[in-house]
């Protein structure tokens, strides 16, 4: 076995050659990019600015046939909606990278989702989409700097 694995930011991904990154990205651009970007609210410019190798590693695509799995994956990779400088996930991280997450009160947001679900089942999906893609809505959950300081000093 010549498989080698590397740890990127806590994710174990298979080490790939430059050639296989390029092959995967070419295939993505050719047959998936348009639909992917439209569905998940991003652009090729975003992907290339942050780094297409990071993008491929975030999905852990190893061979061409892996790429189409994005359609059925339970977790989707998107650009951090706050800083736009990292990849993150829609489902697990609500579109916030590790650096940006601490600035938002995600437990308050989870409370609101639960309340909304109690009133009407399925309604939290819309709230989640709003949190991820509408800056104005997300800002409601930004932790004010003075609150953060208070929390730390308690």
| Contact present, 79 and 42 (Cβ < 8 Å) | yes
CB contact at 8 A, 143 and 104: yes
> Of 16, 28, 50, 82, which lies in the binding site for Zn ion, with binding defined by CB under 5 A?
82
| Six token digits for residue 130 | 């709003």
Q: Locate tokens 């059925």: which residue?
A: 72
End-to-end CA distance of the chain: 53
How would you class 58 by CB atoms within 10 Å of its CB: exposed for 0-12, middle for 13-18, buried for 19 or more? buried
Tell me if 12 sits within 8 A of 5, measured CB to CB: yes
| Cβ proximity to Zn ion, 83 vs 115, nearer residue | 83
Smallest distance from Zn ion to CB 98, Å: 8
Based on CB atoms, which residue is closest to Zn ion, 88 or 124? 88
Q: Closest separation between CB of residue 103 and Zn ion, Å?
A: 9
Residue 50 vs 100, nearer CB to Zn ion: 100
> Does the protein bind Zn ion through residue 83 (CB under 5 A)?
yes
Q: Does residue 58 touch Zn ion according to CB under 5 A?
A: no
What token pair was written down for 134?
């509408």
Q: What is d(CA 149, CA 23) in angstroms, rounded to the nearest whole number?
A: 48
CB of 144 to Zn ion, least distance (A): 18
- Interface with Zn ion (CB under 5 A), residue total 5
Nearest approach, Cβ of residue 85 and Zn ion (Å) = 6
Binding mask 94-123 vs Zn ion (x if CB under 5 A, - otherwise)?
A: ---x--x-----------------------
Q: Which residues bind Zn ion (CB under 5 A)?
A: 80, 82-83, 97, 100
């Amino acid at each position: 076995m010549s498989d080698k694995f590397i740890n990127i930011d806590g994710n174990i991904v298979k080490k790939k050659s430059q050639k296989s990154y390029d092959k995967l990205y070419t295939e993505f651009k050719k047959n998936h990019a348009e639909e992917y970007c439209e569905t998940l609210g991003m652009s090729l410019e975003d992907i290339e600015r942050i780094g297409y190798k990071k993008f491929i590693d975030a999905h852990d695509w190893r061979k061409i046939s892996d790429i189409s799995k994005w359609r059925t994956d339970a977790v989707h990779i998107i650009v951090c909606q706050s800083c736009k400088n990292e990849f993150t996930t829609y489902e697990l991280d609500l579109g916030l990278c590790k650096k940006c997450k601490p600035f938002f009160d995600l437990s308050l947001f989870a409370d609101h989702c639960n309340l909304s679900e109690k009133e009407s089942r399925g309604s939290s999906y819309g709230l989640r989409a709003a949190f991820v893609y509408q800056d104005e809505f997300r800002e409601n959950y930004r932790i004010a700097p003075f609150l953060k300081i208070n929390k730390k000093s308690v």
